[in-house]
Structure 1
Amino acid sequence: PLRAAAALEACPAPAGNGAGPLAGLRFECLGDGSSVDLAAALAGRPALVNLWAWWCGPCAEELPYLQEYAQRAGDAVTVVTVHTDPNEANALSRLAEYAVQLPGVQDGSARAQAAVQSPPVLPVTVLLRPDGSVAKVLPQPFRSADEVAAAVEYHLGVKV
């Protein structure tokens, strides 16, 4: 019932073998419970990976801006969330409450955060190049979709 209420977008389908620090890491897709190799799902295109948790106030503020940016970016940049707390039910409830339907994965053990060498704070946005390498780790909340767009343009060269 929580998955249905959240009505999240499907996780990206594998687009290649995947490379970079997320290679080989599999996560549960929040939208349908399937298993996702995140690096393979993001392979071949620029990506924004947002690390967040249901209890994080700044995360709650920025998630709608990430949703707005994703709608603006379309296929130019893949936007995916990674919930880093073990409580998946709370994540689904929060996403439904925020009306954020971005594709996302559940990572209760913070493996993605460790893999990209992110500091232990939230929210964190990781910008990945099409080859899977990390362009930038941004341990900061975004305050608008325009701020997100500016960061993506500066670090990935994708203007939307």
Structure 2
Amino acid sequence: MPSNKTVVAAAMLAAVAGAVASLYVQPTVAYKLAGTELGQRALGHLLAAKAPAPPAGLKIAERGGIVPAMTLHTLDGLPAEVPQAWAGTPTLVNLWASWCAPCLKEMPDLQAFSAQHATTGVQVVGIALDDVASARTLLTRLGVTYPNLVDPPGPTDAGVRLGNPAGVLPYSVLVAADGRVLKTHIGPFANQAAIANWVQPWETRGLR
């Protein structure tokens, strides 16, 4: 017979999952729940269940596992081998697209976070699931200076490989210095403080 703690935990997860499902009928409720770790996990399970299955053999990032090797490109067309490109540096990876309004809204907060942690903390790297011209235009307009890579959107794009088969944007992944996935965040951060709070528990442990 399961313990009382197990029953309560299961009930809480079921309740959160049900509430997160209200994203389709009560966006405000779902948005608030998505700001919690429990809500994020429930939302992830819900979206993964509704998402199409990834192509057979495609390696997908899992929490606690190493980011699958992939080759992306800089805005100048140079290849970037991931996760080797981030080796030794804790990284907040943010996936976005030029047509995604919530992505563009949170990018100034990511820029501010990046500037604050430029020398001692977590680096920010964007991955635009877009074409180079559109990505470059938006980054220039928003004054974003942290590194950005590009990858054409599709069933095997970087978002899918980083654990987002449903393709919801924005989508962020916190990667440790050794390439392990620590946590993920579906949807936009509310503000710079929300970004710092999401990273902070891991940052104080050195993200190693």
* Aligned partner of 1:84 among 101, 104, 129: 129
Matching residue within 88, 93, 117 for 2:163: 117
CA–CA distance in 2 between the matches of 1:116 and 1:33?
A: 21
4+ residue runs over 4 A deviation: none
* Residue equivalent to 2:192: 145
Deviates more, 1:40-49 or 1:50-59: 40-49
Contact 1:27–1:106 (Cα < 8 Å) also in 2: yes
- Of residues 42, 58, 74, the one that matches 2:118 is 74
Partner Cα distance (2:171, 2:205) in 1: 19
Report the Cα distance in structure 2 between the residues aligned to 1:127 and 1:137, rounded to whole angstroms. 6
| SS at structure 2 position matched to 1:37 | strand
Task: Give 1:9-158 correspondences, 5 Å limit.
Answer: 20-23=66-69, 25-30=70-75, 32-75=76-119, 76-85=121-130, 87-109=131-153, 111-118=157-164, 119-157=166-204
Which protein has greater RCO, CA pairs closer than 8 Å, 6+ apart?
1
TM-score, structure 1 length as denominator?
0.79
The question of whether the paired residues in 2 share the 8 Å contact of 1:84 and 1:106 is answered with yes
Deviation at 1:88, TM superposition (A): 1.8
After alignment, is 52-61 or 38-47 more displaced?
38-47
Number of residue pairs the alignment of both structures matches:
138
Amino acid in structure 2 at the alignment position of 1:84: L
Q: Which has the higher helix share?
A: 2
Structure 1 residues 74 and 146: alpha-carbon distance in aligned structure 2, compared to 1, 3 A threshold: same
Per-residue CA shift, 1:12-66, capped at 9, x if unaligned? xxxxxxx92232x111112x32111121111122110000000000001001100
> Bigger radius of gyration, 1 or 2?
2
TM-score by length of 2: 0.62
* Contact 2:122-2:203 within 8 A present in 1 as well: no
Residues 120-147 of structure 1 show CA distances to partners (whole Å, capped at 9, x for unaligned) of: 1000011011111111110121122111
Letter in 1 for 2:192: A
Q: Which residues of structure 2 form unaligned runs of 5+?
A: 1-64
Within 2, Cα distance between the matches of 1:127 and 1:158?
A: 13
